[in-house]
Amino acid sequence: MRTGRMVAPAAGRLAAARDVLAGLRTLREPAPPSLAGRVMAQLGPVDSVDSYSRMQTPLWPLLVAWGRDGITAVGRADDPAAFEAEYRSRTGRPVRLVREVPDRLTRAVEKRMRGESVPGLRVDLSGLNEFQRRVLAKTMEIPHGEVRPYAWIAEQIGHPRAQRAVGTALARNPVPFVIPCHRVVRSDGRIGRYGAGGSQSKRAVLQSEGVDPDELERLAQAGIRYIGSDTTRIACFPTCRNARRITAAHRVPFRSARDVTGAGFRACRSCRPFPTAQAA
Ligand SMILES: [Zn+2]
């Protein structure tokens, strides 16, 4: 799915309308009445309104909004007025309640909630800046059932010191579940807050993906950041699918990247727990 693409349909239509007007001014004769209709058909309805509706999911009911450029927002169903107000302030567009979410979008959201990819799913991230888009695009790469710390996202998008900004961007993720911000945890490994309803719902979503939140908190409290295997001598984030395969007898806990490399282990190429430069 394309998350990073710029979406400015209103601006595009405005520019097209200006071109048409400029063209009309050069006409020597009055435009034929049928022209206006044809122009409108070409430009599309200028005041098209985005829509939203309620959708039932295995976890809880959601509000899902969409416009002509794809899914625009996902939110908890308990406060539709707040959902609408937030929508208007972020996108600058009104959103109206309709009877139901189109089948195609319902299936797409359900698939994303199961951690499946949805080829061709379009997400309209209007109102978000480039940094926020990059954070969300990177978050899309975290596999189902795994978590990564804020620091990892910051590092991966080339802003290693921007952990707080990463946290803020994730808290404002307009499409939770579709973009799995719940899979990003605090840099110390604790679960942390969650934009769409506090840490309890974050725990619930992670649990539904097979992550054990208590185990994550326990490791964080013990200061354990990475788990290595003494047979492969590779270290991972604890939730990496490679780490979960290590049997108890071969698990080696590490507190830092320095400890990992000091013990002669290297970083997993799948979960990339720390930059390889640190391994030198
Ligand atoms: Zn790994």
Alpha-carbon distance of 162 to 179, in angstroms, equals 20
Contact 261, 229 (CB under 8 A): no
For residue 233, how far is its CA from the centre of ligand 1 (angstroms)? 11
pLDDT of residue 187: 86
Q: Which residue has the higher pLDDT, 175 or 2?
A: 175
Q: Which residues are catalytic?
A: 181
- pLDDT tens digits along 163-204: 999 999 999 999 999 999 999 999 888 887 665 556 678 888
Domains annotated for the chain, with CATH where assigned, are 9-113 (no CATH), 130-219 (1.10.10.10), 224-279 (3.40.10)
CA 92–ligand 1 middle distance (angstroms): 41
pLDDT of residue 49: 86
- Residue for token digits 């990339």? 272
Q: What is the pLDDT of residues 208-251, one digit of tens each?
A: 999 999 999 999 999 999 999 999 999 999 999 999 999 999 99
Taking CA 113 as the corner, what is the angle to CA 268 and CA 126, rounded to the nearest 5 degrees?
A: 95
Amino acid at 7: V
Q: From the CA of 212, how far away is ligand 1's center (Å)? A: 17
pLDDT score, position 189: 85
CA–CA distance, 64 with 41 (Å, rounded to integer)? 28
Q: Which of 161, 211, 168 is nearest to 191 (CA)?
A: 211
Torsional sign, CA 137, 139, 143, 149: positive
Cα(88)–Cα(71) distance, integer angstroms: 15
Taking the CA atoms of the chain, what radius of gyration do you get in angstroms? 23
Q: How confident is the model at residue 19 (pLDDT cuts 50, 70, 90)?
A: low
pTM value > 0.95: no
What distance, in Å, lies between the first and last C-alpha atoms of the chain? Answer: 35
Residue appearing with tokens 């001014």:
25
Of 2, 44, 47, nearest to 20 by C-alpha is 44
**Helix, strand, coil % over all residues of the chain, rounded to 5:** 40, 15, 40
Distance 244 CA to ligand 1 centre (A): 9
